[in-house]
Amino acid sequence: MQFNSYSYLLLLFPAVAGYWALPARFRAVYVLALSLLFYAAWKPLYLLLPLLVCVAIYACGRKVLAVPPDGKRRWMWCGIVFVLLILCLFKYGQFFIDNVNAALAGLGRSPLSARLAFAMPLGISFYSFEAIGFLVDARQGRIKPFSRSDIALFLTFWPNVVSGPIVRFRELIPQFRAHRTFELAMLLRGMDRLIWGLVQKNLIANNIAGWVDEGFRPQGALLNTTLDNWALAFGFGLQIYFDFAAYSNMAIGSAQLLGITLPENFRFPYHAENPSDFWSRWHMTLSRWIRDYLFFPLNARFRGAPGPLYLSLVGIMALVGLWHGAGWGFVLWGAMHGTYLVLHRIWESLQETRFPRMATSRWVRWGWRLFTLCAVMAAWVPFRAATVGQALMMLRAMFLGFTFRISYPVNFYLVLLAVGLFCVVEPYLGQLISRVEKALAQRQSTLAAHIFLLRPLAYACGLLLFAIFDDRDAQFIYFQF
């Protein structure tokens, strides 16, 4: 059941009404039941997998809290290894077999006959990271005593179980224990995010998707010019941003209807000033997870040894790419981002020691902005291309063989320009809307009109755009991860 489906929207509001009608002590159990039903609506049998992870994490987590300090590390790693084995089997098992067979074929040996016939479980990448983060936090003393239902609710909470945001136990579960009372402002905030997410998905992301899909077809990519490939790179960059931001907004909005605040996941990433800033704006909860559980330990370990640190940085980002999908294109995407981060760190070191005046140079800052935007867009090519070979062919045409003929309808380039311009003004529009809302809310004479007339009118327009541009076959891109 997708967030942008009529079935989800029709069932969401009765579910929310039931939540607020219940006594506070029953609400967490009610949400847990809804979350399990939501997951089972995809494939009932696969509900067993997150439940199995819940059992393992509960058992290991209780041991981590109970045993002496010297035993905590062992139980933490028992849980982490179990989660990673589940993740590798269901997400990377066939990828491993395919690569072994390719190596055997290169050696003239017979390939393995094994083939894994199951589909990748929904949301496995996301709840695996949440489970690992929980165990690390438990070992570090950041987790208070918990119950089985706490763990189950934490790992299966329906708004974020499929594609994030990646939350932490100490962020989510205490909110269910707080027993909030219903507030109209909370409902309106949830509706704002939900409707805007629907518009982002159906009006913007889906309208770019058709042209991007056509341009990245292996047969069509052979004929693409330099201008075509850059347009497709920017097109997919905009598509995946608005698609994933739409999902995140709808997840945050759905949770907000229950009085639950999920962490933000995007903050205008294409306005980033440098590669490091990009990762503080793009998929922010994943970036935070990588920073806290991987980068910080590595920084502490390789302090004063930049060479090993830089190699580790590229390696970690390559693994982040692999986390997104079982394919070498994802690994290349991650390695490219790791290289960008290393280049920026090297520049920062040189700037401090040799070029201190450049720290305040406007030209340098804008140079990094332009580099970051173009580099990020170029990295989307291997992320989206069918094969690494196709990605390298397209990148070669973008940077080496320059041809500027256009191969697609002019409407594609015009839509791309319009969406790009919207991206430029998006943060300023958000600030303007916030100021207008505050001004209206401060005036008692206009407050009722704002709540009961202007806002419902905006919601109606958003739902109308959602219905007009609805494409029932268009899934969220991050569902496959």
Instruction: Classify 268 in phi/psi space as left (phi over 0), alpha (psi -120 to 50) or beta.
Output: left
Q: Is 337 a catalytic residue?
A: no
Query: Could you tell me the pTM of the whole model?
Result: 0.92
pLDDT tens by residue, 224-237: 899 999 999 999 99
% of the chain exceeding 70 in pLDDT: 94
**pLDDT, the chain, mean:** 89
> Scanning the structure block, which residue is given the tokens 């979350």?
35
- Tell me the CA distances in angstroms from 387 to 120, 217, 249, 474, one per residue in order: 20, 10, 31, 22
pLDDT tens by residue, 424-445: 999 998 888 888 777 776 766 5
- Give all strands (DSSP E) within 192-331, no chain letters: none
SS3 at position 342: helix
Least confident interval from 9-13, 109-113, 164-168, 194-198:
109-113
Give the per-residue pLDDT at 117: 61
Per annotation, catalytic residue among 179, 271, 283, 324: 324
Q: Which residue in 257, 260, 180, 262 sits closest to 17, CA to CA?
A: 257
Who contacts 166 (Cβ-Cβ below 8 Å, separation ≥6)? 126, 129, 130, 133, 160, 285, 286, 288, 289
* 110: Cα separation from own chain's centroid: 39
Dist. CA 177–CA 83, nearest whole Å: 27
Dist. CA 71–CA 67, nearest whole Å: 6
Give the per-residue pLDDT at 446: 58
Dist. CA 67–CA 77, nearest whole Å: 14
Structure tokens at 78: 């028992």
- Tell me the CA distances in angstroms from 73 to 76, 77, 82, 137, one per residue in order: 5, 6, 14, 11
Q: Which residue in 335, 333, 344 sits closest to 371, CA to CA?
A: 344
Sign, CA dihedral 142-145-148-149, equals negative
